[in-house]
Amino acid sequence: MNTGGADLRGDAMRHYSVVVDAYLTARAKTESVTGVHNDSLIGAMVAHKKL
């Protein structure tokens, strides 16, 4: 049984989750300082995930 593809997908999703968590944390910190809300980066990430 070949699970290589599933393993790679799992690794990619774990990496994506870490990146999104880090981005959301950074965005929350930035918003608390500047009051500015910017969804362009996460929008690009979500669009990339759907490809």
Give burial (CB, 10 Å; 0-12/13-18/19+) of 20.
Answer: middle
Q: pLDDT by residue for the chain (51 residues), tens digit each?
A: 555 566 777 888 888 888 888 888 887 877 777 665 556 666 666 666 664
Residues in Cβ contact with 41 at an 8 Å cutoff, skipping those fewer than 6 apart: 23, 27
35 with 9: CB under 8 angstroms?
Answer: no
Structure confidence at residue 51 (pLDDT): 47
- Return d(Cα 46, Cα 20) in angstroms, integer: 9
- Return d(Cα 17, Cα 3) in angstroms, integer: 21
